[in-house]
């Protein structure tokens, strides 16, 4: 190991170098960028993103970002396009071709073919005078002065510039589509955000665990019901309506103050007017209600206020909503 190298200082220089390169990109934005965004937005087809080498890796990430933010996109590797995958491009598609030099052999062969159906070709390149630049209908210039690489060889600033410009496209398209958090959740139903915005109480309710006693139930029946359903609580219901709730904490407090349990009924120890939530409410709202009231369970009712079951905070946490 070279003892003369200050690792942290080298890292800082690299980060600063790239940040300066990115800050200069605003100087190369033209009306072609606006036109590119509008073409993609108005397209009845997909956006096909293609590239070779490191640009292909960046293109794949851009596609992932666009798909998750409402713009249908496909990735086409430039090398594979020459061996059958060019059929991905269909009439009505817009094509974004990414190449730093704009003159790689694969791009020179591929670029004209990408316009065979009259498709709009958007070239993202550092060199507008390159083959790609001259073949493209619109140009997004990704020029950087040099790479952070000590030898100015390995793509660093240039690929970061491509990534940032791809994100800028995505942001502009999100604005045009009025793309909100709820829309984002629809594309990410399995993630924490998706669950937070989409998961309703009815989706988590376990119908087999519905602890229930009536006001005249004995303490023994209450304890058995709480133990069998394993939710630490039971609802007290009369004529289908909630009249109270009994938790295992209520049982412990009763045992600490009473020696004689003979004749004690559910109505004697239940808490009246318990907190409830409806089937159609969001799970995240159930969690917030529990947290704000320092409780771990909520009674679930339907729109007619009929008892439907219990939702427990542990189930919410296990689901990964929070």
Q: Which CATH class is domain 198-319?
A: alpha beta
Neighbouring C-beta atoms of residue 58, cutoff 10 Å: 26
Q: Is 253 helix (H, G, I), strand (E, B) or coil?
A: helix
Taking only the tens of pLDDT, the chain with its 322 residues reads: 566 789 999 999 999 999 999 999 999 999 999 999 999 999 999 999 999 999 999 999 999 999 988 899 999 999 999 888 999 999 999 999 999 999 999 999 999 999 988 999 999 999 999 999 999 999 999 999 999 999 998 999 999 999 999 999 999 999 999 987 666 656 655 555 556 666 889 988 887 889 999 999 999 999 999 999 989 999 999 988 899 999 998 899 888 888 777 888 999 999 998 999 999 988 888 999 999 999 999 999 998 888 999 999 888 888 777 6
Q: What are phi and psi of 79, to 5 degrees?
A: -70, -40
Residue ranges of domains in the chain: 7-179, 198-319
Helix spans in 136-275 (H): 157-177, 181-187, 192-198, 201-204, 219-229, 248-257, 266-269
pLDDT score recorded for residue 240: 81
The answer to whether the beta carbons of residues 74 and 128 sit under 8 Å apart is: no
Looking at residue 116, what is its pLDDT?
87
Phi, psi of 122 (to 5 degrees): -105, 120
Listed in sequence order, the residues at least 6 apart from 178 whose beta carbon sits closer than 8 Å to its beta carbon are none
Looking at domain 7-179, its CATH class is alpha beta
- DSSP state for residue 178 in the 8-state scheme: T
Sign of the C-alpha dihedral, residues 255, 258, 259, 261? negative
Backbone angles phi, psi at 127, to 5 degrees: -125, 95
Can 7-179 and 198-319 be said to share one CATH topology?
A: no
* β-sheet bridge partners, residue 297: 312
Among candidates 89, 125, 92, which has minimal Cα distance to 107?
125
pLDDT (0 to 100) of residue 2: 63
Using the Cα atoms of residue 306, residue 309, residue 312 and residue 318 in order, give the sign of their dihedral.
negative
């Amino acid at each position: 190991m070279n003892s003369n190298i200050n690792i942290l200082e080298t890292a800082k220089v690299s980060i600063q170098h790239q940040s300066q390169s990115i800050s200069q990109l605003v100087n190369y934005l033209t009306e072609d960028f606006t036109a590119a965004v509008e073409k993609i937005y108005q397209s009845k087809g997909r956006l096909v993103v293609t590239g070779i080498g490191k640009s292909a890796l960046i293109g794949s990430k851009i596609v992932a970002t666009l798909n998750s933010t409402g713009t249908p996109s496909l990735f086409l590797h430039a090398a594979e396009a020459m061996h059958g995958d060019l059929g991905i491009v269909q009439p009505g598609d817009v094509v974004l071709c990414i190449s730093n030099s704009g003159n790689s052999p694969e791009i020179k062969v591929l670029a004209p073919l990408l316009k065979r159906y009259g498709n709009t070709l958007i070239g993202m390149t550092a060199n507008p005078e390159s083959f790609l630049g001259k073949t493209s209908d619109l140009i997004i210039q990704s020029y950087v002065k040099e790479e952070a690489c000590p030898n100015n060889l390995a793509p660093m600033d240039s690929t970061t510039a491509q990534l940032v410009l791809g994100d800028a496209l995505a942001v502009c398209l999100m604005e045009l589509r009025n793309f909100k958090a709820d829309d984002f959740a629809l594309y990410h139903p399995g993630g924490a955000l998706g669950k937070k915005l989409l998961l309703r109480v009815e989706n988590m309710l376990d119908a087999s665990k519905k602890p229930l006693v009536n006001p005249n139930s004995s303490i023994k029946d209450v304890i058995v019901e709480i133990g069998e359903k394993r939710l630490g609580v039971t609802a007290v219901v009369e004529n289908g309506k909630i009249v109270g709730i009994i938790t295992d904490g209520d049982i412990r407090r009763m045992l600490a103050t009473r020696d004689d349990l003979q004749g004690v009924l559910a109505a004697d120890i239940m808490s009246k007017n318990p907190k409830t939530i409806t089937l159609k409410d969001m799970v995240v709202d159930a969690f917030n209600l529990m947290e704000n009231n320092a409780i771990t369970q909520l009674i679930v009712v339907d729109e007619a206020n009929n008892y439907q079951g219990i939702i427990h905070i542990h189930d919410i946490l296990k689901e990964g909503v929070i």
